[in-house]
Each structure stands twice: as structure tokens, then as C-alpha cells.
Amino acid sequence: MTIGDALRKERENLDLTQKEMVEGTSISVSHYSKIENDIQDIKAKDLFELLDARKIDVNNFRKKIIDKKRNSLNELADQLTKAFYKPDIKLAKAVKEQLADFSDAEELQIRAELVVAVLTNNLKETKQELSAKLINYFERDATWMDDPDMLRIIGNSTRVIDFNFLATLMNKLLVKYQKIDQYPLDTQKRIGNIFVNYLHVLYDYRAKRMARKYINFLQNLPGIPELTLDKLMGDYYDAVFFKNEKELAQTLSVLKRVVPKIVSGLPEK
């Protein structure tokens, strides 16, 4: 919700005309009309003057704007997820365009770029640009390893980030989360998923020696149902990287029964 939208709702709740809304303030009716219609911005001092004149609580007014904005971003995030899994290129592009209006939604904006690039088979063409954005994003924030949104970005972009930079990020995660059972289940699942995606990248680069420690991590995850798939994927990549045909056949048989949709995208040799 913009400030203009919020002011309009406040005015309508007070049953006032635009002229009555600005009465007793230094704001003209024509200027206020443009503010309501998001044609012009309103200065902070003018906003406070207007809210004070109409006895509108500043904190409540601000909270309404923030809550509405948060809800809008949550809805867009849900739509982006639906667009990816349908798949729906048109919806993904529409969400990406809407997110451009939010100056503080960089995580979602990057996710939207990734989704659109994947759905339009344009990942290779946009890889360099996206990789530069992602590197800049991670280098700016030293707390990224504790931020679920930052971790989500990594999980979605392992095939986009520069390989050498990605290896540095993965190694830092491996060191931080070596005692993974001490973290909440959501964190365990998130880190497991990231390493599964990273192993696919390592396979593409034939980086067998780098894969061993991430395979071990997955295989040593706590033995609880929610982490079964990640543990299975650890067994799967163990068999793929180290040429264990019997283990590969057994693991693929289980994966095809449990998650048949993802098997088609996995290497089998």
C-alpha cells in the first residue's frame, strides 16, 4: 500500500472530501489529489501536519502501510512459487514486474529473475548478469549464513553463481553447520537442500574430489523422516560420483517411487 492509498482510506473512513481533508494545513487540494493518486510524493513534514490536523495516529498509520506491504510481498512470493511449479511463464513475468515497485524486496526480485530465466530457458544468457548481482548481494551482508532468505537465494541459484565463488560459499556453510543436529529442523532441511543442489553443480563440473565432504554431510544427517530425501540424495550422488552401480540402481528405484518428478533431471552415470 502506498502512502497515497493509505491517505485515501483514512479520508474515506473519516467521510471527508479532499478539500476537507487538507483544511487547516499548508497542502493545496490539487497537490493532495496528486498525492492520493501517487502522481506526487508528500514531504515528511507535510504528512505529519496532515495526520495531526485530522487526529490520525502516526504509528497506526505507519503500521497499516507496513502490514499491507508485507502482505503484498507474501502474496507475490506465493505466486512466484506457484508460477515455478505449474510452470506459468506469464505469471512469473507478471510477478517480476510487480516486484520492481518494491525498493526493499531485493531477495524476491532476484528470485523472480531466476524463475523467469529458468522457465524461459534463458538461464545461460542471463547467468553472467545474475551471478554478478548475487555475488554483490552476498558480499554486502556478513550475516547471510544466518538469514533464511539469503540461504533460499543460494538454494535457488547454485547453477547461476560463479563456480569459484560458489565453492567459497559452500565451504563456509559446511564449516558453520558441521554440527547440523544442533539447529532447528527447518535449518537442517534448508542446508541439506542447498548441498543437494550443489552436488549437481559439482557433477556438471566433474569435481569428484570436492563432492566427498558434501556427500558425507548428507549421509550423516539425523535419521528423521523429514530429512530422508536429502539422505537418499547423499546415497545417490555417492553412487554416481564413485561408480557404484548396485547402489545407484537401488537408490534410483526408491527415488522413482518417492519423488518420480525429480528423477528425470538427475544424472545416472
User: Which pLDDT score, from 0 to 100, does residue 210 have?
Assistant: 96
Amino acid residing at 268: E
Which pLDDT score, from 0 to 100, does residue 159 have? Answer: 82
| Structural domain boundaries enclosing 41 | 5-56
Domain contains 25: yes
pLDDT attached to residue 269: 55
pLDDT in tens, the chain (269 residues): 678 888 998 899 999 999 999 999 999 999 999 999 888 888 889 989 999 999 998 888 877 776 666 678 888 888 887 887 677 899 989 999 988 877 677 778 888 888 888 788 776 777 788 788 888 878 877 788 998 877 887 887 888 888 999 999 999 999 999 999 999 999 999 999 999 999 999 999 999 999 999 999 999 999 999 999 999 999 999 999 998 999 999 998 998 888 887 777 787 65
- Distance of alpha carbon 233 from alpha carbon 237, whole angstroms: 6
Is residue 216 domain-resident? no
pLDDT of residue 187: 95
CATH number (domain holding residue 28): 1.10.260
pLDDT of residue 69: 67
**Is residue 88 in some structural domain?**
no
Long-range contacts of 142-151 (CB under 8 A, 24+ apart): 145/172, 145/173, 145/176, 148/186, 148/187, 148/190, 149/107, 150/107, 151/190, 151/191, 151/194
Q: What is the pTM of this model?
A: 0.63
pLDDT of residue 239: 95
Q: Is 269 helix (H, G, I), strand (E, B) or coil?
A: coil
- Kindly state whether residue 32 falls inside one of the protein's structural domains: yes
Is 47 part of any domain?
yes
Does residue 168 form part of some domain?
Answer: no
At residue 85, the pLDDT reads 67
- Determine, yes or no, domain membership for 46: yes
Domain tally for the chain?
Answer: 1
Q: Is the distance from CB of 232 to CB of 269 less than 8 angstroms?
A: no
Closest-CA residue to 200 (of 244, 253, 151, 156): 156
In a domain, 226, yes or no: no
DSSP 14-61: TT--HHHHTTTSS--HHHHHHHHTTSS---HHHHHHHHHHTT--HHHH
